[in-house]
Amino acid sequence: MVTTEQEDKMALIVPCVAIRGSTGISISQGPPTYEPVSAFVKDDNKTCKTMAFSPQGQYFAWANGHTIKIILCETWQVVAEISKPKVQAIQFSPKDTYLMTWEPFIVSQANPHGGPNLCFWNPKNGELVKSFIHKKQIDWEPQWSSDEKVCGMLVNNDVVLYEDSNFEKVLHRINVVKVAKFSIAPGAAPYHVLCYMPGKSGQPSFGRLYQYPKFQASQPVANKSFFQDDRVDIYWNKQGTSLLLLTSTDVDKTGASYYGKQTLHYLDIKGQTALVMLSKEGPIHAVEWSPKGNEFLVIYGFMPSKATLFNLKCEAVFEFGTKHRNAIYYNPHGNIVILTGFGNLRGGIELWDTNHRKLIATSDAPDTTLLEWSPDGEHYMTATTAPRLRMSNGFKIWHYTGTLLYERPWNKQEELWEVIWQRYPVDTFKQKSISYKAVDGIAPSQPQASKQVYRPPSARGTTITFKLHDDEDDTKQTESNPSKNALKIKKKREAKKAKKEQEAALAGTQNTNITANGQTSAISPKVSSPTSNSANNDLTDDPEKNKKIKRIKYKLEQISKLKEQHQQGKQLEINQLDKIKKEAELIKELEELTL
């Protein structure tokens, strides 16, 4: 139990933000003061390339094109300075024991073989611990177990693993097949390692999950094969017990998508694997695990995209509706999630209560290139940064109720490159109950852009005869309190849609096909599902009941198709077999709804 004294101490902790741009590096306090940290001596260098807080919050480091400076956050004073002018990337180990730096690998006449460019430093005093050669900047970061007992690196398509910070001896090596990418699971022992092994022409690629240190070819805990992968992204849950593999191709050979093609696969340390079934065609824009580790969220499909929450069985448990969104941000506690659309989208932000599946608030942050939650889980920061956008640079701090609290715009001749929150050990900030009442804030200095479509002078004052459907969101699924008129319109729409479905079923022209990447698409042949004879006559006068009935019918149609594939000898995934087992339960539920 948290004592009053501990609560007061936590209340005194004010997370800071580090700011990097063309004017150098500075640090300011977060809410409620926003004042510059006076103990920190601002670096005015215009060539500050990178910066980072250590995971446990002890240190802050940056590279300014001349040296690397390491600050002790308790005092904001420099404790070490390393003369390394070419460093372009830095990172701390999970327990703040090492600072790792990467610089370009250079070959010269004086040094034809090049020298070490990946270095481990002691942040307490800046002493070099160990140096390695790692030519590529992509995935340069060494992988660590959370307790720092195991450290791994990719060397010439082999994974080399060290133990207990003994970097003089490679203790284990994974070289059974060519490895293109690997990842060590977070969490406690026993440790697990995921290896991505790309396939050759005509051969599948593999994602293989091993329990450390059993790395023989016949010893993976879980194994997933797949085709069409130019790259793979790995997403672990916080506990390191489950992970998602997002496989992507740069080009969709069917020509259906400009974005290429993606599929999402699930693996866990119990050996279970599954293909995550997505209900809308199109690219996968974002994937994130809840910090609680028991569910994950996916935004997918052609715009307006869908946002769906899945459990560990890869079952859809909640739909956030269809809108123009492409990004997901959970707060550190996992009780609030931001769904938004940046890049070429408007920047509309939705904040959801994940426990009650309820919308807390909305706000607009157009031209945002960067968003990050404060470690307190109550505030978040949005920024417009160069080189992505060179106009209207600056950052803002918001409360989770959608209220703007602070704004710092940049001068036109200056550029903002990066803003990051100070970090703290886990459980420094306790989770508080969510309030739906907006706090007091400020108005944005920039006028909000008009949401009306531009009309040339010659067209003004005339009747509009067209509609830009692609720029509209489908809000049907996110309306919590629809008006009577909206319900009436919705009821008419449902009845009209039901009539069309009934006609289509009688004509035998509608069927559902599950595509290779786990998404569903409508095709038109022949057989209707076993439920279609009566299901379309089951609609009631209650719109909510109708929604449930349609959802069940859709699931039964999927099950029917899966059963056909199973009878034809196709090997199904575990989650697909689980779906088939639920057929009787769904039929019973449908009967109860239509009584």
- Angle at 55 (CA atoms; ends 52, 59), nearest 5 degrees: 55
pLDDT in tens, 335-393: 999 999 988 888 899 999 999 999 999 999 988 999 999 999 999 999 999 888 888 89
Question: Residues 149, 188: contact at Cβ < 8 Å?
Answer: no
**DSSP summary character for residue 131:** E
pLDDT given for residue 288 in this prediction = 96
Global pTM? 0.76
Closest CA to 515 of 272, 279, 298: 279
Reduced to 3 states (helix: H, G, I; strand: E, B; else coil), residue 116 is coil
Between CA 490 and CA 477 the distance in angstroms is 12
pLDDT given for residue 150 in this prediction = 95
Residue type, 112: P
**DSSP summary character for residue 6:** H
Q: What are the residue ranges in the chain where pLDDT is below 50?
A: 1-2, 6-10, 449-451, 453-454, 466-471, 475-481, 508-516, 520-535
Q: Provide CB contacts within 8 A for 2, sequence distance 6+.
A: 10, 430
Closest CA to 140 of 124, 161, 120, 154: 154
pLDDT given for residue 2 in this prediction = 47
Helix 543-567 to helix 574-581 angle (10° resolution) is 120
Question: Residues 572, 565: contact at Cβ < 8 Å?
Answer: yes
pLDDT given for residue 473 in this prediction = 56
N-to-C CA span, the chain = 50
Q: Provide CB contacts within 8 A for 352, sequence distance 6+.
A: 320, 336, 337, 338, 339, 358, 359, 360
